[in-house]
Each structure stands twice: as C-alpha cells, then as structure tokens.
Amino acid sequence: MDRATFFSPQAGRNIDAPLKMRARFGIGDVVRHRMFDFRGVVFDIDPVFANSEEWYESIPAEVRPHREQPFYHLLAENGDNSYVAYVSQQNLLSDGDGGPVDHPSLAELFEDFKNGRYRLRRSMTH
C-alpha cells in the first residue's frame, strides 16, 4: 500500500498514513458519538490517528480505537458544554437529522445549517 507522511501539530511529529483512506464523513457534517452523549460538526479530518501518544494512552485499552482509520476534529456539544473533540471514525454516527449544533465557534467556520449539514464559509476554502 502506498503511504505518505504529513506533520501533525497535535502530535508534534510526522505521521505515516496510507495514500488512500476513505473518510465516511466530510467537513460540515453533523455527527453523534456512538458511546458518549455528545454531537458535533466536523471541521477537520486526519486520515489516521495524529494526536499525541499521551492522548491515545489516556483512552482505556478496552475501548481504545485502532489508529489506522480517519479521526475527526469536531466542534462538539453535550447538555452542559461546548468544546473541541477528536474522535475515531468507528465511534461516530451521522446525526444531520438531529438539527443544528449550538457551538460558539460555528459562525467562524461555517455558514447556516441547511439540509442536515453546515457549509464551510467561502473565506475558509482554498
């Protein structure tokens, strides 16, 4: 399998990843965590795990996701807080039918919620 390397600021190192990795969700999609009660909007995608080893090791071994899958950066919310989450693909479900997400940073990156997802602001695209 062909591989490429990219630098991860979160990990502080280069990450080796397959050239072809299929992400189930895209930027602006609303998702829900499979096990924990929170949902969020995808604002970035890593093709494989690209966070720190400390972060990875802090996940209990019995629920720790495998590294060779997409990981998503989310503007997340639960009943009490808004925050940024980093979640493996295996732990996410689509939740566009659940309505908009209430996160204070949404307006910086996205336009209005429409048809179950958010559209990236034109100023944020290349």
Phi-psi region of 104 (alpha: psi -120 to 50; beta: other; left: phi over 0): alpha
The total domain count for the chain is 1
Q: Supply angle C-alpha 25, 40, 24, rounded to 5.
A: 10
Q: What is the DSSP letter of 37?
A: S
Q: The pTM is what?
A: 0.84
Please check the confidence at residue 15 and state whether its pLDDT lies above 80.
no
113: containing domain: 3-124
Helix, strand, coil shares of the chain as percentages rounded to 5?
15, 40, 45
What are residue 122's phi and psi, to 5 degrees? -55, -35
Pick from 59, 44, 58: which is nearest to 9 by CA?
44
* pLDDT reading at 50 higher than 60: yes
Q: Write the pLDDT tens digit of every residue in 21-47.
A: 789 999 999 999 999 999 999 999 999
Domain harbouring 82, CATH code: 2.30.30.390
